[in-house]
Structure 1
Amino acid sequence: MSDMAKNLIIWLVVAVALMSVFNNITPSESASGAENYTQFIKDVRQGQIREVKISDRQIKGIKRSGEKFETLIPTAYDKDLLNDLIENDVRIIGVPPEEPSLFTSILISWFPMLLLIGVWIFFMRQMQGGGGKGAMSFGKSKARLMGEDQIKTTFKDVAGCDEAKEEVQELVDYLKDPSKFQKLGGKIPKGVLMVGQPGTGKTLLAKAVAGEAKVPFFAISGSDFVEMFVGVGASRVRDMFDQAKKSAPCIIFIDEIDAVGRQRGAGMGGGHDEREQTLNQMLVEMDGFEGNEGIIVIAATNRPDVLDPALLRPGRFDRQVVVGLPDVRGREQILNVHMRKVPLSNDVEPALIARGTPGFSGADLANLVNEAALFAARSDKRLVDMTDFEKAKDKIMMGAERKTMVMDDAEKEMTAYHEAGHAIVGRMVPEHDPVYKVSIIPRGRALGVTMYLPEKDRFSHSKQHLESNISSLYGGRLAEQIIYGDEKVSTGASNDIERATDLASKMVTQWGLSEKLGPLLYAEEEGEVFMGRSSAKHKNISDETARLIDKEVRAIIDKNYERARQILQDNMDILHSMKDALMKYETIDAKQIDDLMERKEVREPAGWNEKGDKSNNSNNDNTEEQKEESSTSSDQEQPKDA
């Protein structure tokens, strides 16, 4: 029975009960007329009254003309009334006071208690997230069941993770034909843990498994198990597996399992009783005395490091499927999937867009396609073209243009020198990603942006590449220092200094790229460097080693700082020329940068009209792979780390 039908029946019962109470309370007999007591006494004395019925202070009667009436005695007792009635030959009938029905009495006496119980049930449902399953169904599973025909997602809708699809293809084959594996003594994994960064498609892949296998799919979040009462989560786990056994073969998908599967007894202040009991029950259900044949548990998390070891052992989550960020080919496949629903122009090339979006997840690429469609809609276009994808890509990677922000010429010029310093050093140092675009248009939190073009997806970095990045990061500050002097250097390089220092620290303490300290680990965890200072978690190092770490970090910074200074001093003419081009065009791309580096006359950017104004198509038509490197010219305008 549906929830709507249940609610309708409940309201009908309530309506019938109220009608019954109303009928019992309301008098069944009503008079056709009412008159005041004075007129009643006059009628009695004039002999016009034939019969009266007296009940307490209420009088109902019939006149000799047949007309019915009723009135009310104004005082508790009228000693002359009976004498008047008897003297005028009026028939007197005494009626006892009307007693309420048993049902009415019970209702009236119990109404306050029932009201309190109703309020308590309402608030308990709110705290427990009743979900329409009834006020007392705290221990019932909140898993949403999707039938075989409800899931339309298949492997065709999943792209960019071919290795992960191959891992879960066995699950589909087993669910379709279990005997193929059972006759050889093989057992399908009871649990599959999908691990990957947010937005890589873990949930989508789980749905595709259910869609391909055509089996029921139970979906639930890890946070749906844990409640304020101890034991509720364990009861929900039992109920969920009981429901799954009735629908086997089926798939149970638990999203964000780290909410309930965290390591027991970890952290300060002891454990969490409710979460630990829920985890214990899940461990028993997945591999306890009772087998759950035909039930496959798929869980997703981006924090596998915090999960309890008992949850990851063979027999529970036997297999871990890593759903990583897609490569160039994977990004192209994902774009093709999302572009199916978008009317595209003939100039759109998914391969070029994929090359220009390194590090994008599947969710990022879906957002890119959506933003491009929104740009086309704002321009009243019928088709989404390549210019819209360029605008969308720039918006996602660099932030939206801040058209209302007006900088004076002096600040604009300083920003131009700053970004030109990044670009020139980036083009001169070895193993650095080529400079792709330079802009002094404020975007997001940055007053200026220098973007680099990675030639391929990088999975590791050499020492030379890291040192070149440090040099280019200091190029902006050095350009300001050389042009304006030490007293005029702005705070715009604060983020550049932070990132350069972080790179140098990791080179020394984590990556073993220091000759004096060698390949040893001096940091407890990534991103947390300990140089002899007090910390809650620290690596045991001597004071002498801490001082040596400081010296090595400083040596790397000084070496690359001086290299960047020398490059800018040797190319001052290019620095001034690039500043002039940025002041004129505001944004220059790789072709204009090539002209500047070769000391040629700078060609006009694409979309620049004869009046010197940027047209609507002023965004660069190049669609190469990009990598953001941002810097600012204001202490209040500091970008986040790219």
Structure 2
Amino acid sequence: MSYRSVSWRNSPPSLAVAVARCGIRNALRHFLRREDICYVAVLVVPEGTSDYYGRAVSTFIRDPVPVDQDCNETAVVMTLAEQTIEPRTIHDRLRHGRQVVVVTEKAESLPPEFLAGADLVRHVVTPTPAHLIAASRTAKVPGMTQEFAEFLSTQSFDIIAAVIRPTRPLLNSIRQLRRMAEKRLELPTLAEKPSALRLEDTHGYGEAKDWGLRLAEDISSWKRGEIAWEDVDRGALLCGPPGCGKTSYAKALAASCGVELVVASTGRWQAAGHLGDYLKAMRASFKQAQTKAPSILFLDEFDSVGSREAAVDSDNHDYKRQAVNALLECLDPSEGREGVVVVGATNDPSGIDSALLRPGRLEVRIDIPLPDAVSRVGILRQHLGGHVVDGDLGKFTQASRGWSGADIEKLVRDVRRLARRHRVPISESLVMKAMPARRLLSDDELRRVAVHEAGHAVVGTLLFPDSIRYVYVERDVPVNPVSRVVGAAVFQHATETAGTPEYYDNRIAMMLGGSAAEQLVFGERSDGAGGDPSSDLGLASDVATRMERCLGLGEVLSVEFGKGGRPLEYLRERDPHLRGLVDARLRAQFDRAVLMLGEHRACLDQVVRKLVTDGHVEGTEVRALLAEGVRNTASVRT
């Protein structure tokens, strides 16, 4: 069955592409008069517009796509932004083409011999108001006036494509663009004031604090000339949930290292304008950090840069590719970046291009967890400043389980406000009064949560005896919870040198132990095991997918790794057979967990009772209860 693309005439192009068509029609007018003519043309277009001009060329010579008798495409359009390209690559991509157009933002990115052999090398003129008026008819955008066209001729294609739509009145779009132009940020990078807080005085950063203090020692040694810059870490990626204090960490790190802090983000770079402006803003950040060296360049929302491997078929893939390539050049320039340490921050590292994390770039990944009980108290006292709160703040630590540093900082603002309003000193009771409203779980809710977490604890201890640390349930929860977590079984697994199918199946069974316990005790499961990629079922599905497709532990030896921000989910979406294999593996381990819990039902019930009564059971107690149950079972059999 043949496939024919839909003609642009039936689906009008965007205004930006229609404007680009005007320039293309003028540049290629001699070649467009005859459909059978063969040629190679190089069009040099303004910076940041290659994608639009490439699509515009395609509407002329690839609509529909012409092919030869061997199904090779004979009309070829190749777009280049800044990267150079090898002659061999050009030959491989263009060898079957009869009508070839290369769209580039820099002619020097092409090999000289290719330029010499081209039939046409031409710079495409910058769009004029007349082009915009003509393009508005092609794109079916009514209401274009000379005034509007003159204003739009000063805007980038990226902005025009984002704001101008046929379904929206043009006047409204123009008004919004003018407001954007007035508010557009001129300085995408900010130099931060020195922080009074040093890393030594912070709480809850764990491994990140250790790394930062080592970095401070190395930078001090480098300043004294005792070590070369090559012996200093070049960069790190901070990973953690929102509100865990990544920005505060960067400020404290710079203070401890005694260096300048320069802050930038993808959002600030993009606010500068189209792709060309975006890349200029990016380079300006690195140049500013180099000027202030020694310095720390903090790149917030680092995952927004994207990955060249994700969404390869999307319209903005070329944009992402050029952004990542430019950032790679900035992170690892040929002249080096002595005196500049780059620290990126992200909530989701899965969507970051792997090349950005290689040695010499952001070579160290540091996870910042949510603060534990001791750290939460330390953060509270830190934000309270000179105010002293008597007591161990036990009620606060219990009620703030799962809180981030940002949550505690907001609580302190509320506490101070209450103290000012009522003219009373800050106390533990005032802290608790400022806490968000909470409600007690009903007996049925508490028992179901206890059964679920006890199931994880028992199955996990049977399969990984030394890994369990403790299991807990919450008695009361926030009235408007951000998270559904009301309990957890906490394990600490030893690093496996070689994971066998049995090891991974055991992990799946442990993850499904909570649902299995609910099925055994109540005869049905609740939704507590699903609904989120980090849920029991979400994690178990990913482990099963890795076994089947990534690790060679399933029915095939060939491997796939997926792509995008959720590569394992991508594999499952496109492969119904894989989904069946994953589901079968999960069901087998679920049934296995139910059977294990049935054999140790007495232990399960004891853990449940302790959780309902005390809210917390240590791992040693779980192991002791299981050992006692095994001994009792053996004596009965004897």
The equivalent position to 1:362 in structure 2, one of 400, 405, 408, is: 405
1:119–1:472 CA distance, 2 compared to 1 (3 A): same
- Determine the structure 1 residue equivalent to 2:250: 206
Confirm whether residue 259 of structure 1 aligns to residue 304 of structure 2.
Answer: yes
- Determine the structure 2 residue equivalent to 1:288: 333
- Determine the structure 1 residue equivalent to 2:362: 317
1:510–1:304 CA distance, 2 compared to 1 (3 A): closer
Contact 1:144/1:219, CA 8 A, preserved across alignment = yes
Letter in 2 for 1:306: G
- Work out the CA distance in 2 between the residues paired with 1:332 and 1:442: 19
The equivalent position to 1:553 in structure 2, one of 570, 576, 590, is: 590
The equivalent position to 2:444 in structure 1, one of 418, 430, 453, is: 418
- Determine the structure 2 residue equivalent to 1:218: 262
- Work out the CA distance in 2 between the residues paired with 1:542 and 1:338: 49
| Cα drift, residue 299 of structure 1 | 1.5
| Cα drift, residue 287 of structure 1 | 2.1
Matches within 5 A, 1:571-610: 593=613
- Work out the CA distance in 2 between the residues paired with 1:545 and 1:117: 56
The equivalent position to 1:495 in structure 2, one of 527, 542, 548, is: 527
Contact 1:164/1:323, CA 8 A, preserved across alignment = yes
| Cα drift, residue 255 of structure 1 | 0.5
Instruction: State percent identity of aligned pairs.
Output: 21
Task: State the SS of the aligned residue for 1:225.
Answer: helix
- Determine the structure 2 residue equivalent to 1:382: 424
Confirm whether residue 166 of structure 1 aligns to residue 210 of structure 2.
Answer: yes
Question: What 5-or-longer segments of structure 1 have no aligned partner?
Answer: 1-111, 134-140, 403-414, 482-492, 576-588, 595-621, 626-642
Relative to the length of structure 1, the TM-score reads 0.50
- Determine the structure 2 residue equivalent to 1:54: none
1:231–1:165 CA distance, 2 compared to 1 (3 A): same
- Determine the structure 2 residue equivalent to 1:144: 190
- Determine the structure 1 residue equivalent to 2:573: 536
Letter in 2 for 1:296: V
- Work out the CA distance in 2 between the residues paired with 1:200 and 1:258: 16
Task: State the SS of the aligned residue for 1:510.
Answer: helix
Q: Pick the structure with more helix per residue.
A: 2
- Work out the CA distance in 2 between the residues paired with 1:255 and 1:506: 27
| Cα drift, residue 143 of structure 1 | 0.2
- Work out the CA distance in 1 between the residues paired with 2:365 and 2:430: 39
- Determine the structure 1 residue equivalent to 2:241: 197
| Cα drift, residue 163 of structure 1 | 2.6
The equivalent position to 1:247 in structure 2, one of 292, 307, 313, is: 292
| Cα drift, residue 466 of structure 1 | 5.8
Contact 2:199/2:252, CA 8 A, preserved across alignment = yes
| Cα drift, residue 272 of structure 1 | 3.4
Matches within 5 A, 1:274-353: 274-340=319-385, 342=387, 344=389, 346-347=390-391, 349-350=392-393, 353=396
- Work out the CA distance in 2 between the residues paired with 1:126 and 1:158: 42
Instruction: Deviation per CA, 1:69-91: give whole Å up to 9, x if none.
Output: xxxxxxxxxxxxxxxxxxxxxxx
The equivalent position to 2:543 in structure 1, one of 485, 489, 510, is: 510
Question: What 5-or-longer segments of structure 2 have no aligned partner?
Answer: 1-145, 156-174, 459-469, 494-505, 619-638
| Cα drift, residue 207 of structure 1 | 0.8
| Cα drift, residue 154 of structure 1 | 1.8
1:400–1:524 CA distance, 2 compared to 1 (3 A): farther
Contact 1:191/1:316, CA 8 A, preserved across alignment = yes
- CA RMSD after TM alignment: 5.6
- Work out the CA distance in 1 between the residues paired with 2:455 and 2:209: 41
1:521–1:256 CA distance, 2 compared to 1 (3 A): farther
Task: State the SS of the aligned residue for 1:536.
Answer: helix
Letter in 2 for 1:418: D
Contact 2:513/2:593, CA 8 A, preserved across alignment = no
Contact 2:204/2:376, CA 8 A, preserved across alignment = yes
Task: State the SS of the aligned residue for 1:193.
Answer: strand
| Cα drift, residue 144 of structure 1 | 0.9
- Work out the CA distance in 2 between the residues paired with 1:424 and 1:368: 29
Instruction: Deviation per CA, 1:407-459: give whole Å up to 9, x if none.
Output: xxxxxxxx9563364378579979477776657x994489xx996597xx544
Q: Which is greater in Rg?
A: 1
Instruction: Deviation per CA, 1:145-169: give whole Å up to 9, x if none.
Output: 235xx43332245211243123123
Contact 1:143/1:219, CA 8 A, preserved across alignment = yes
- Determine the structure 2 residue equivalent to 1:234: 279
1:538–1:175 CA distance, 2 compared to 1 (3 A): same
Task: State the SS of the aligned residue for 1:325.
Answer: coil
- Work out the CA distance in 1 between the residues paired with 2:488 and 2:381: 23
| Cα drift, residue 206 of structure 1 | 1.0
- Work out the CA distance in 2 between the residues paired with 1:118 and 1:524: 44
| Cα drift, residue 558 of structure 1 | 7.8
| Cα drift, residue 123 of structure 1 | 7.1
Instruction: Deviation per CA, 1:279-337: give whole Å up to 9, x if none.
Output: 32332233223333222222212232322233222222233333233344433433332
Letter in 2 for 1:279: V
- Work out the CA distance in 1 between the residues paired with 2:571 and 2:291: 57
